[in-house]
Chain A
Amino acid sequence: MKTVINEQNRRNFAAQVESMLHDKLAKCYQCGKCSAGCPVNFEMDYTPNQIIKMTELGMEDKVLNSKTIWLCVSCNTCSTRCPKGFEVTGIMDVLREIAEKKGIVSKVEKEVQMFHEVFLDNVKSNGRIFELELVGKYKLKTRHLFRDMFLAPKMLEKGKLKMHGEKIADLNQIAKIFKDFE
């Protein structure tokens, strides 16, 4: 599909991303090392380097509606290995944030987006993750009640799933972070 580059829109979008990212898009020289090492690249519709280029070119719709930004698991392999020190993981965060603020609901990766929401709710109320509550809420929200159920006994066995959640001492601090952001 043809993309008409509108100079003003391109600049606005690139500037918005850069100011949130605290990094310059022009820094990326498109070597592709980020995409080469990305563990979830095989599921993405655009490679991480393509996302950076398209952001620079102001292709807002394509970028914000991409699967890539939601599939990124923020493992930081890309940023760690980037020869230019570009915030590749960061740009995914920023783009998710913009998409969220714009109310763009990812058609393909709706569940990822739901997970992020549930995750943040969990943090908000506990100050940390209570896995059982997280899994439960996520399953209710997505209605995939029995998916991955066979993992539960193994996780219990290894002590990865606690039956009782714990809250952190000073929840006000967490509330403040959320408030600052909003």
Chain B
Amino acid sequence: MARIGVFVCWCGSNIAGTVDVEKVREEAAKIPGVVSALDYKYMCSDPGQNSLRNIIKEKNLTGIVLAACSPHMHENTFRKAAAKEGLNPYFVEIANIREQVSWVHEDKERATAKAVDLMKMMVEKVKRDRPIEDVRVPLNKKALVIGGGIAGIQAALDIANGGVEVILVEKEPSIGGRMIQLDETFPTLDCSSCIMTPKMVEANQHPNIKLYTYSEVEDISGYIGNFKVKIKKKARSVVEKDCTGCGECWNACPMHKNVKSEFNVNLSERTAIYVPFPQAVPLVPVLDRSVCLHFKKGGKCQKCYDACGPKCINFDLQDEIIEETVGAIVASTGYDLMDTSMYGEYGYGKYKDVISGLQFERLLSASGPTEGVIKRPSDGKTPQTIVFVQCVGSRDPEKGVPYCSKVCCMYTAKHAKLFAHKVHGSQSYVFYIDIRSTSKGYEEFVRSTMEQDGAIYLRGRVSKIYEDEGKLIVKGADTLSGNQVEIAADMVVLATGVIPKKGSDKLAQMLGISYDKYGFFTESHPKLRPAESSTAGIFLAGMAQGPRDIPESVVSGSAAASKILGLFSKNEYEVEGTIAGVNEATCVACFYCQRVCAYNAISRKEIKDRSGKLVKVVANVNPGLCTGCGACVNACFSKSIDVKGFMDDQIYAEIKALAV
């Protein structure tokens, strides 16, 4: 015989203000099987929990219903309290009379009636609860970091320093990401490569970090604690362990005028065999087979091979697939810039001297195409007047993206400042809509660009840029004075909006994590679980989640690392027991459940007799992946799949309670 206790929480006036809690308590006491009914001001408080525990003991309760706030809030609190009294924690049910009643209704009488209904439903459910045990999943204590920018490197270093092995996979020939492309960093103006290269070197030399550059994650399967990863190591055509990085090969390559350098954002050329930049880690060149004469002209050219001292160039190297098993993953794939050539009015791609912010970084950089001297791409002359246009692509729901790219205000202020420092007597104009400078020292930085370095800020967008007698005529507005303005510039720098790295949506699908409509990975909770993805064991870092600057990327890398170290501090991972289970006797192996499962949690299982003969094939639920969403339950024709804690008889009992 069921012995149920019902506890009605006031939540101060949150519930009691709209729901007659005493009435709910009285109604509860009338239900057969309810041996105790109580209302209390704050059930989640210590005295509230203590009274719950005392009554479990005194009345020897077999089930508990809390008419209180959402189970998202305190289900765990009450389950733990019940468990302390020896009750299976899954015998605790919550009737949500706050979010679903008091907060959304005004009429006290009807709200009370609804609260009573919800409470009754849960009483009927709890009568049919069965004990559920949490599932324990063993953990492979090894982590995979996808993307070797500052966020990924920070995550890898923190995990590795915690004594855990890390595999760091980077698509490009070198780690370093976007940060190594930057010149100086706001608001302190420390040189980006000076602070980035030590991290890159440390990652490369760390005994706990295994680095795969020029490699891509090809396939991922499995679940938290047990991810099977296939990494494609693209053929570099250079034997890494023998290469000294001397540079004889790329100096000998005849293809030195034809290929645009990706690292310098098309502002210079590179050879077919190349390192993207002098401080590349590892300092081992990559042979780009799509442009190499050896591959295009049937093996005739081998100048790099001839020049190579240790003869480490091997044209026959093939792509390699490496398989690894890891327990946790960090996705830190970074960002790209929007293609702004669709703004015909700005002439990007048409006028050589209209460039992107990242291109201007390369012009400023000592390792860039002009060795840090600011020169116009068109004629190599040093510009005297530069117009910076902010929000190109960002905050443009019509043609671009509606969100703010966050870093542009600051890097534009930095560009204007560095331009003033490098070209004396020069003048910069900045067109902006708002200036967003919210972190430590940022506002002061922007102000000093205006007040000390003389940048003129104009509040308004630019409407049109065209070329006239060697000048770029910029037509804009200054909405503060209400004037249309026209400026003749030598160069225009567009603060181009950021978008997720190309292919990050595909990676998200492979990982089974959710992403927003732009392709940024979404957090499990935007505020309280910012480092976790929607899938257990997969963590997020850096710009792959959305626009953020270097300090924030570093913080997010460290946050993901600390989550992983915390996870790995135990030997097993505990999963809630409310997951799907298959009745193998009735399953007809149609696998409709497999098709609807968003988490790839369902696989085929073969049942064999003692002699090894196949008896039948059934669906099987992987407890590490199943989230208990219930999609499979709906899809099952033979009613062979159920989510524990949400069995058919329980749901029917809830509905019946409502109908009476």
In B437-482, the 8 Å CB interface with A consists of 447, 450-451, 454, 456, 458-459, 478, 480-482
In the complex, which residues of chain B have a beta carbon less than 8 angstroms from the beta carbon of A62?
483
Contact B485 A5 (CB under 8 A): yes
In the complex, which residues of chain B have a beta carbon less than 8 angstroms from the beta carbon of A145?
none
Q: Which residue of B lies closest to A49 (CB)?
A: B480
| Bound Cα distance A105, B566 (Å) | 77
1/0 per residue A39-79: CB within 8 Å of B?
Answer: 00000001001100110110100100000000000000000
Most chain A CB within 10 A, of B384, B459, B483, is at B483
Contact B487 A5 (CB under 8 A): yes
Contact B486 A56 (CB under 8 A): no
* Given known A26-B450, A26-B454, contact A57–B486 (CB-CB < 8 A): no
Number of residues of chain B lying within 8 A (CB) of chain A: 21
Q: Which residue of B lies closest to A32 (CB)?
A: B480
In the complex, which residues of chain B have a beta carbon less than 8 angstroms from the beta carbon of A27?
451
In the complex, which residues of chain B have a beta carbon less than 8 angstroms from the beta carbon of A29?
447, 450
CB distance from B78 to the nearest CB of A (A): 52
In the complex, which residues of chain A have a beta carbon less than 8 angstroms from the beta carbon of B302?
none
CB distance from A176 to the nearest CB of B (A): 36
| Interface of B (DSSP majority class) | strand
Q: Which residue of B lies closest to A55 (CB)?
A: B481
Contact B451 A57 (CB under 8 A): no
Contact A3 B484 (CB under 8 A): yes
| Bound Cα distance A2, B481 (Å) | 12
| Bound Cα distance A1, B485 (Å) | 9
In the complex, which residues of chain A have a beta carbon less than 8 angstroms from the beta carbon of B483?
1, 3, 54, 57, 59, 62
| Bound Cα distance A1, B477 (Å) | 11
In B312-350, the 8 Å CB interface with A consists of none
In A6-50, the 8 Å CB interface with B consists of 7, 11, 24, 26-27, 29-30, 46, 49-50
Contact B481 A50 (CB under 8 A): yes
| Bound Cα distance A3, B458 (Å) | 13
* Given known A57-B456, A57-B458, contact A30–B480 (CB-CB < 8 A): yes
Say yes or no: is A4 at the interface (Cβ < 8 Å to chain B): yes
CB distance from B571 to the nearest CB of A (A): 57
Most chain B CB within 10 A, of A5, A27, A54, A57, is at A5
A: residues with CB less than 8 A from B are 1-5, 7, 11, 24, 26-27, 29-30, 46, 49-50, 53-54, 56-57, 59, 62
- Complex A-B, nearest 9 residue pairs according to Cβ-Cβ distance, in ascending order: A53-B481, A50-B481, A26-B451, A4-B486, A26-B450, A54-B481, A2-B484, A5-B487, A53-B480
Name 14 interchain pairs, CB-CB below 8 A, sorted by A.
A1-B483, A3-B484, A4-B485, A7-B427, A7-B488, A11-B427, A24-B451, A26-B450, A29-B450, A30-B480, A49-B480, A53-B481, A54-B483, A59-B481
